[in-house]
Chain A
């Protein structure tokens, strides 16, 4: 009995947090999504599916998100994996620490400030000026989907590098020796041993990046010049500009549902790809 009380007490802070920060807001949003907008904005209680019926009006935002979020995730993965591999397998212990710190350091600065750096780099006096010097005139980078992709990769790279790094670092190096001992050349060892065993890290990294990207609004607004419109931007506008809370809630609920469906499908896929049951880090 006493043990049970203690258990409950231990769980109380997390439970309360979970309730207050997740369940309550989600419930409120769900209720709002069936309501109506007040004459000067805000929320008027109602029970209508009107907001959901109006979802096609944000179809482009959903489409952009569903294209750029997976594309950004894939691009981040392709860049993060070699980096994580180098850090975990190749770098000497001292360099490992230095390089890991270098990967983390940008995280200490607000993404806002860092995006400003990119605005300058991608703007007319940055990389395009260098390209112009090299004879490639009139290349425009800033305020394009490409710039958004760069910003996404840059901003989310550490989130992708770390889980992959951890899974590769934890990888029993004797398995690589065993593979080599059994006659496998390095590339074969990578494809058949290293890569499959780092799937948990890849899965975790992709999940983290993808979920956060689905709600991203800052990078498209800043590096896309407001022309690349994500669901996140639609939500910001709905809540802060047109103050259409009911419709905003319906869009938010839909985003959550789309996210859950995508993530579930993704988990199934990863499992089928043969990740070990006990090693899939995120559940």
Chain B
């Protein structure tokens, strides 16, 4: 598919455009940069605008349910099926970052019924009393033993269940091997940062997201991805400041510039990696040997959700393995539910990008709650961006 670099086919263009129209390209896409959560919410909400009429008169769970989630993270057909079955229309609000979600809930009056927090944020929501404990009796489809505890345990705090797993993934980087020595992909975060300051100057994209950008800079020195140690952060900051003049962009929306060939190297969530690699095999997805981030997203209900019944109904519906399979096929992120995984095509189950080898997986760390709320990391990121 090397000719893909030289021109963009009509069909491809329409696909790209459609992605833009949907408001995003990847999970935590550019809205993160722009802070246009509200604007994207409007776009997202416009999507299921022409839903089929409910097959029966609603009433039991209300006529709508409001979901705050990440871009391109669902199969719209499942929402259609849900409203057909229950009479409740799914209204989608799309967000760019966990921070943004937290900011909305902290400000109050979000009006959401269901949201999709990432593992490391849940304790904070519990501390701030912004999350509703889940009543498993209302989630008959939630078969706890079927879920890999690695991706499910963050849902419980102090023995109480607050959130059920949605999907999980890793954060590594994508590299266009057309530009590497001998067409070999890089293997470590050290190489990532070093080549950026040399051969790849002006071609590297890092996330506009303190967790991953600072975390992966920490990895250069072999520190923990989650470090909030002053000295270690100072080292990471120095690295980031040294790298800044050599960057192509500080942006979480990495796909367009990787596809166009403007950027050759970029931090990436596994879904980005998978999508890019599928379309352009010369783009490889790499988990840095030093480690990096492993993450798991959950379904949860915020305190004071206006349509509580509908919220439970929606989560329960999405956890149905048949529905969940369609979800995974639509967005490509693995699920922690073994029952669902077993229903996926074998090729997908063996995909090295989505299901990395055990040794690579073991080197990864979950983001920590302290990382999310640490003001020093936020300030470091601001200094880096404004340098």
Chain A interface residues toward B at CB < 8 A: 37, 39-42, 57-58, 60-61, 64, 110, 112-113, 116, 119-120, 123-125, 140, 142-143, 217-218, 221-222, 225-227, 229, 233-234, 236-244
Contacts and interface: CB of A to CB of B under 8 A. Distances in A.
Contact of B375 (A120, A123, A244): A244
B134 interface: no
Contact of B250 (A42, A125, A140, A225): A225
B30 interface: yes
Interface in B228-270: 244, 247-251, 256-257, 260-262
Nearest to B17: A116
Contacts of B386: 58, 60-61, 64, 229, 234
B125 to A, nearest CB: 9
B20 A116 contact: yes
Interface in B1-51: 7-8, 20, 30, 33-37, 39
A140 B248 CA distance: 10
8 contacts: A61-B386, A110-B39, A112-B34, A123-B260, A143-B249, A238-B382, A241-B100, A243-B102
B250 A124 contact: no
A242 B202 contact: no
B381 A237 contact: yes
A241 B106 contact: no
B24 to A, nearest CB: 11
**List of 9 A-B pairs having minimum Cβ-Cβ separation, nearest first:** A242-B378, A225-B249, A226-B250, A236-B35, A229-B386, A60-B386, A124-B262, A40-B373, A241-B99
A127 B120 CA distance: 43
Query: For the complex, would chain B's binding face be called helix, strand, loop or mixed by DSSP majority?
Result: helix
Contacts of A119: 256
A140 B249 CA distance: 12
Contact of B128 (A37, A40, A125, A233): A40
Nearest to A138: B202
Contacts of A116: 20
Contacts of A123: 256-257, 260, 262
Contacts of B261: 124-125
A222 B257 contact: no
A244 B102 CA distance: 12
Contacts, number: 118
Given A40-B127, A242-B378, A142 B35 contact: no
B248 A240 contact: no
B373 A39 contact: yes
A57 B248 contact: no
A50 to B, nearest CB: 12
B34 A222 contact: yes
B138 interface: no
Contacts of A227: 244, 247, 249-250, 385
B103 interface: yes
Contact of A241 (B7, B210, B247, B387): B210
A124 B208 contact: no
Contacts of B103: 41, 239-241, 243
Contacts of A37: 375
Contacts of B375: 37, 242, 244
Interface string B348-387: 0000000000000000000000001101001101110111
Interface string B186-209: 000000000000000010010010
A124 B262 CA distance: 5
Nearest to B40: A112
A143 B206 CA distance: 13
B251 A241 contact: no
Nearest to A54: B379
A204 to B, nearest CB: 28
